[in-house]
A and B are shown apart, each in its own frame.
Chain A
């Protein structure tokens, strides 16, 4: 049962072959048995899950509900969930029980999905390894000595270990796609504004985007269908009709023009990863796609621009954690400054502090023009690169991450190397484009992710290409030893 995709589970539920309650019990049992070695969950909501499962079963019995009704899901602990702790992986919010529900979790609950719990993550989504969590590091089921990637590493790890058939993630600079790649699962970052950010704890507001994670492109389509859509509570959400993603899934890739940015196949890319990606490209060619080389000349500016803009926004977004109204408050403050300093000093971890400091500096009087304004100009150049490219091609393909999963602790004290592991994903966030990562091979037993980038609001085309590829390959069906059938 745990090997089945969302689409398969949905069919089984619809046919009455299994009940949501059985399914939910099975996943809860796996979580209890297997997660202690992975640490992919921060909170497991077993009781609530069983209640929701029974409600879903009743709904199905009445002939109501949709394809997702009764299917379990794990939510990244960045989405506010009414009455359930929402920690964002931080000591600061260890005591925070949200008094309201995020748009994403509300929509998926409305579709009848059953919430298994809240997944572990880098603190406030700041990291690429899921090691900066207050609740300890998450491990990669393919090799527990390696990281699952981040920041949505808990969701990716849980999917790979078959602890949940579906999950949510958020992606500010690659936080859905990079862990999906490192854990051998699928993840989609939608167009900025496609999915409401309401109730999603902000890291960098102009870059953050929630999206689905699962084990097939078809599942991503089912999940995105429920998540996407305009939300008047988020001023940056876009009033653009949501297409029928499942209906577009079989569009194939024949005649599609695929661009390979020469800058993505350059220095720093692991040779094994490059081979796997090239083989996937060859597969697309065999399926009728036309492949050509393109240029994204400002690629090298993406990481520096990102590491000005994201920290600048985060330095302001995280000011609300001051110990006054909610979250961690230091013991016995002597005055207001002491309250601020110790509450924030104790509540935030090192990586979060590093980014607040960098962002505060970048926005300071006298530095704003040199850093923040300049970074925004670079951002426009990067967006223009993609605009030009999408004049020539329909999809852009490359590696999701320059390497496979790295060892726990290896890059913790080397932030720049850590930051560079997001080199291919970051530009997509700066431009606000949709992109996904799907498994395309292995290097030394660790999964490799294929990165497919599309034009604005062309998630349907992305999913169709990935689905076509997955009909020919079985990389996405492979399970890590000890977690499979």
Chain B
């Protein structure tokens, strides 16, 4: 039997996070109009300024058109069939501590391998937990407050820190940036907010865990991270959802602001439900992520994308300040009928700005994997440098890999490098492993891990191990 036949036969889905949590929910009726937006805002006791912002965004969204340029195919989304707010009833009186959180919710996170009790936590990781449309709890808040770090849900920040919200919300991703970003601006429900004061090195890793649970709801979270001058923070997000036959929409916006000399390291392990082997079900992950670097600042995006039926995201960096640095490290795996169109934009505005892009795309089954990237050097970006490396790995003979690198250089002193390779897990490699006693499944995961090594080493230690395991699970049965 040839290698590809074996691969085809053995590809199956094994998605550990596909269970449903049975808690009493309150969910809005499906449909979208001004009233729904008013209700979301009221639910969150938002100040007037926020409601106005939402309604303005909604009007703009109505006039916008859905983007068609991505290398993905999917049926038109019926925005009237989606419920835009859903939260566990037990969250009505916001719990102040873990003891007050519905135990059923806590069990959900235990099952997902995310212990929430502070004494059980991975040393030095604070977690914000977002369940459907609401943030359930944020751990280590008091400890972080000791060094002046604010880590809370965005809803809370809107009420408690309006000056920061008014100044920065929508400052990196403008409302009209794109169709899904505008939608998010009008209906976003919750997400995380981080502020690191001047000169502070955040004493622990921060992370947010997003969970979609309720049927027919969309999750529109929003995250805003502000690193004040000379500060440092490392932040990680993780995502999962139940296995369902219906597609669900996840339309997030993430904004990062790195002020002078600040550093933000943002890592994502995205494992939304990918759909079954025939492409039924799965999350549509349409996400806008962007950061802005002031002078001498640095933003580093690392993403491991193994889930979602469709991934459409381009974590980007605007290198506004002189000597600022942008980095993008990505591993995207598509198998079965998954489609990913992902990459980055590095916008060089300041002098001596530098960017690095390392993208590793892996396609198995009938998966389609696209890297789309833009390196834009403006006329003022004297001495700008970019290095891009895009590697694609194919497993089997029914998958696809595409690379669309756009390079615009308007400054003659800039140096832009682009390298790309496409390779296949070859029969020779598999046979070498087998001849040394290693079964093909383990061999594939070893080969793929080797392929991704330069990205994994950018992840915080605990999560690098997680990411490796996740890849292993995702590849289970990818070869026989």
Partners in one complex: no
